[in-house]
């Protein structure tokens, strides 16, 4: 095998090797191959994920299998199968959305490969094959253990079908078929838009569409864990739910098990039709669009920006310092022009929305009925704030045009403090508008004067969280290379679980401050005192510490990084 890999095997195979080798690399990271560590971490978490739930599922199915009627057991199996189908489809959709730019060759591929004696269809076919191989690897990794474990633990006298010989293929076909439906569906959607839209409109539409797809898939991944028997029964019976793709493949699963319900067979037919149509459209649009795609890239994917005088006048009025004006303009235009950065920001918004929807019912049930609305607003504020700050910090760490950061390095000494103050202004102003001003009319209508107390408490909490999140920030946004995988994935997972618990605790503390004056005074005093101390310490460091423009692995001995 090693000897075979060393040989040359024609244009298609060599291009496939090239695209697979560089599939997860980017010009925005420090060095090629740096993504190997994070990918290994993700793989190590994906492979055994189902084993952690085997014990809980076994106990649940043992209880329902012992009941004298089959109804409750079959409802539980439907709910869990819908959860697994939705989860698998969403993960494959997320991978496809994240690699949206890799569905077709990009401008860099044309520049590096266009002068070689290669046919265009070789490049296109190898690109699609590389994406398909990566998606297939994710499908196999995610489905290997559930495809064996779920049919085994759910086997019962009340289950449709005749043993594992029927249930295992049914589960495999439903989950894998659903995953490929989302994959080919997104490929077909991009191909259709490529052939229908003008070049500049295509760049704008697909940029926002990619971010929306990432947000939706992340939300579906989180919300899939909230599927229970009541939700599954509603989705199975409601007429509108029969147009949801996960319900189609749930029907396919039940049909292969032998469920005689005619509605189930209708859903199974829709699943097969949808899968066949998505594959056909993806291949058709891919074949007919490669010439137009090259023209589109050469003409440019993004529309020219328009400078409006009133925005400049407003910015000069709100931010008198010209150095701060320059940085704020740089931040706004980078986010507006870069689909990659918008995708990251929208992904965090979708993930936060899913966490909010899955946890808000539990928060409302944990407080008295007269405080349920206030508890919902408090929890929503805290969750949105957490994902807003974490998302912006991650967003700022991803560079936009790395070779152009020399202009900031040359002028850093005279503007470092004002630059970082501009970052503070940008984050705090956008945070105030989104988390305080926008929801305040509705909150005041529902809570009355309690809304003012909640806004004051949350404002102090937001300032404290911002200082804590950006306390070690030593970069100018979008100007420093990014080194992924500095923290192992399992540590990130533990931090995330700890964050969820901390958000609920913070929400209950703020809620207590809304209704108890003593708690309000104590919490506000502590928040403002801690914020003042951290903020003053951070501002003092701005004049001494250099900004970072190249992120590298931490050296064994840390330097002080002081100006000479």
Confidence of residue 41 (pLDDT cuts 50, 70, 90): low
**pLDDT tens readout for residues 487-516:** 766 677 788 888 888 888 898 899 999 999
How large is the average pLDDT for residues 508-528?
92
pLDDT of residue 344: 87
How many helices and strands, by DSSP H and E, does the chain display? 22, 0
Indicate if the pLDDT at residue 563 is higher than 80: no
- Among residues 228, 183, 214, the alpha carbon closest in space to that of 82 is found at 228
Phi/psi region, residue 476 (left: phi>0; alpha: psi -120 to 50; beta: rest), is beta
d(CA 153, CA 200): 53
How large is the average pLDDT for residues 481-485?
74
d(CA 471, CA 190): 41
| CB-based contacts of 81, cutoff 8 Å, min separation 6 | 150, 171, 174, 250, 253
**pLDDT tens readout for residues 225-269:** 888 888 877 777 778 888 889 999 998 988 888 888 888 889 999
How large is the average pLDDT for residues 80-96?
89
User: What backbone phi and psi angles, to 5 degrees, belong to 145?
Assistant: -70, -45
Helix (H, G, I), strand (E, B) or coil at 545: strand
Task: Of 121-135, 295-309, 330-344, 414-428, give the lowest mean pLDDT range.
Answer: 295-309
Residue 477 is encoded by which pair of tokens? 């946004």
d(CA 165, CA 460): 60
d(CA 441, CA 259): 51
pLDDT of residue 71: 80
pLDDT of residue 304: 47
Top-ranked range on mean pLDDT: pick from 111-125, 301-315, 502-516: 502-516
How large is the average pLDDT for residues 413-424?
86
Instruction: Report yes or no: 435 and 458 within 8 Å, Cβ to Cβ.
Output: yes
Task: Of 6-10, 24-28, 209-213, give the lowest mean pLDDT range.
Answer: 24-28
- Among residues 451, 397, 449, the alpha carbon closest in space to that of 423 is found at 397
d(CA 243, CA 234): 13
How large is the average pLDDT for residues 397-407?
83
Compute the half-sphere exposure of residue 552: CA atoms within 13 Å on the CB side of its CA.
6
pLDDT of residue 489: 67
d(CA 386, CA 123): 42
Phi/psi region, residue 304 (left: phi>0; alpha: psi -120 to 50; beta: rest), is beta
d(CA 519, CA 137): 53
pLDDT of residue 162: 64
d(CA 508, CA 217): 30
pLDDT of residue 301: 47
Q: How far from 237 is each of 20, 231, 461, CA to CA, in Å?
A: 44, 10, 44
d(CA 125, CA 287): 9
Q: Per-domain residue ranges for the chain?
A: 8-299, 311-541
Helix (H, G, I), strand (E, B) or coil at 84: helix
pLDDT of residue 70: 81
d(CA 485, CA 482): 10
pLDDT of residue 118: 72
**pLDDT tens readout for residues 425-439:** 999 999 999 888 888
Regarding predicted confidence, which is higher, 413 or 531?
Answer: 531
- Letter string b/e over residues 466-495, b meaning 16 or more CB atoms within 10 A of that residue's CB: bbebbeebebbbbbbbbbbbeeebeeeeee
Indicate if the pLDDT at residue 298 is higher than 90: no
Task: Of 113-117, 178-182, 355-359, 520-524, give the lowest mean pLDDT range.
Answer: 113-117
d(CA 430, CA 437): 10
């Amino acid at each position: 095998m090693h000897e075979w890999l060393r040989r040359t095997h024609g244009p298609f195979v060599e291009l496939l090797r090239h695209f697979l080798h560089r599939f997860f690399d980017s010009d925005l990271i420090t060095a090629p191959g740096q993504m190997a560590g994070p990918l290994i971490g993700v793989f190590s978490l994906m492979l055994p994920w189902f084993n952690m739930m085997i014990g809980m599922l076994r106990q649940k199915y043992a209880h329902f299998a012992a009941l004298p009627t089959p109804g409750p057991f079959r409802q539980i199996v439907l709910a869990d199968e819908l959860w697994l189908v939705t989860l698998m489809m969403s993960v494959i959709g997320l991978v496809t959305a994240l690699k949206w730019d890799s569905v077709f060759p990009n401008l860099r591929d044309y520049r590096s490969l266009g002068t070689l004696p290669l046919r265009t269809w070789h490049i296109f076919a190898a690109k699609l094959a590389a994406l398909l191989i990566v998606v297939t690897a994710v499908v196999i990794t995610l489905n290997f253990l559930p495809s064996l474990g779920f049919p085994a633990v759910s086997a019962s006298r009340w289950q449709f079908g005749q043993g594992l010989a029927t249930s295992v293929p049914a589960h495999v076909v439903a989950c894998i078929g659903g995953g490929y439906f989302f994959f080919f569906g997104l490929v077909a959607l991009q191909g259709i838009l490529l052939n229908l839209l003008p070049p500049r409109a295509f760049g704008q539409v697909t940029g926002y569409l990619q971010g929306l797809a990432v947000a939706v898939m992340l939300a579906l991944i989180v919300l899939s864990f909230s599927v229970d028997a009541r939700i599954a029964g509603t989705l199975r019976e409601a007429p509108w739910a029969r147009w949801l793709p996960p319900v189609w493949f749930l029907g396919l699963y039940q049909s292969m098990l032998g469920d005689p319900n005619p509605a189930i067979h209708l859903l199974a037919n829709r699943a097969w039709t949808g899968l066949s149509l998505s594959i056909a459209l993806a291949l058709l649009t891919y074949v007919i669009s490669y010439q137009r795609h090259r023209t589109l890239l050469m003409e440019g994917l993004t529309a020219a920006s328009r400078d409006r005088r009133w925005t400049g006048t407003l910015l000069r009025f709100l931010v008198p310092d010209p150095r701060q004006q320059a940085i704020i303009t740089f931040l706004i235009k980078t986010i507006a022009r870069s689909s990659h950065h918008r995708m990251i920001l929208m992904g965090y918004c979708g993930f936060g929305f899913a966490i909010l929807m899955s946890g808000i019912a539990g928060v409302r049930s944990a407080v008295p009925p007269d405080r349920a609305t206030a508890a919902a607003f408090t929890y929503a504020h805290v969750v949105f704030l957490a994902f807003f700050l974490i998302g912006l910090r991650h967003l700022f760490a991803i560079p936009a045009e790395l070779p152009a950061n020399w202009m900031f390095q040359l002028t850093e000494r005279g503007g470092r403090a004002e630059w970082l103050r501009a970052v503070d202004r940008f984050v705090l102003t956008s945070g105030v508008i989104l988390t305080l001003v926008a929801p305040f009319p509705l909150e005041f209508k529902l809570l009355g004067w309690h809304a003012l107390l909640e806004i004051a408490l949350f404002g102090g909490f937001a300032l404290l969280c911002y200082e804590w999140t950006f306390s070690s920030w030593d970069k100018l946004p979008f100007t420093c290379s990014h080194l992924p995988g500095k923290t192992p994935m399992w540590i990130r997972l533990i931090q995330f679980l700890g964050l969820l618990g901390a958000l609920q605790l913070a929400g209950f503390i703020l809620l207590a401050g809304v209704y108890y004056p003593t708690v309000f005074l104590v919490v506000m005093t502590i928040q403002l005192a801690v914020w003042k101390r951290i903020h003053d310490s951070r501002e003092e460091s701005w004049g001494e510490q250099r900004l970072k423009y190249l992120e590298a692995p931490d050296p064994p001995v840390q330097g002080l990084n002081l100006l000479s």
